[in-house]
Amino acid sequence: MSKRPGQIRQKAQSHQQAHSSQQAHSSQQAHSSQQAQSTGKARPGGSGPSGAASGVREVTPEMRARTLRTFVWVMVGFAAGIALMVAVLSAQGRALRGYAGRVQAAVLATGPSANVSYGQPCVDALPGALPPGVLDCDVQVSSGQVSVLMQLERDREYRLAPKAAAGP
């Protein structure tokens, strides 16, 4: 598709008008800036004839106290959050150790033979649900000693050391 000569001329004229209006706008800005400097008036956000910034405010003691108070509350909140996470993890660990101890005691109560070695799920030894966060739990009996191995979330495991049944 070819353009007619009239269309090309119109496009060139509109392009020239846009360019000349941009030049006129930038020259007006430069002129107003020069006028403001010569009269000593500062433009918003700029600096006056003395060189002092116009947007600077003084920090008052009340502002300092409020900032300090906010900082202290943020630090206290952060410390409280960490303490809460440690307490929750500690309670979960204690629950896991308690469950493993109960399973071990239940298997030891059956009096495993010193001549037999086997493994079984914890829920067979101690019926009931596994504690939260435990994916799998196994009891290993080897030569009369009972150990408990729990697979936890995030690829962790907890092993309760082997314990032998008390003698007759």
Predicted local confidence at residue 42, as pLDDT = 47
- Distant-in-sequence contacts of 13-19, Cβ < 8 A, 24+ apart: none
HEC sequence for the chain: CCCCHHHHHHHHHHHHHHHHHHHHHHHHHHHHHHHHHHHCCCCCCCECCCCCECCCCCCCHHHHHHHHHHHHHHHHHHHHHHHHHHHHHHHHHHHHHHHHHHHHHHHHHCCCCCCCEEEEEHHHHCCCCCCCCEEEEEEEEECCEEEEEEEECCCEEEEEEEEECCCC
pLDDT band at 112 (very low <50, low <70, confident <90, very high): confident
Predicted local confidence at residue 93, as pLDDT = 87
pLDDT band at 163 (very low <50, low <70, confident <90, very high): confident
pTM exceeds 0.75 for this model:
no
What is the percent of the chain with per-residue pLDDT over 90, rounded to a whole number? 38
What does the alpha-carbon distance between residue 140 and residue 104 come to, in Å, rounded to a whole number? Answer: 9
Across 80-108, average pLDDT = 92
What does the alpha-carbon distance between residue 145 and residue 147 come to, in Å, rounded to a whole number? Answer: 7
Predicted local confidence at residue 151, as pLDDT = 92
The sign of the dihedral angle between the CA atoms of 45, 51, 54, 59 is positive
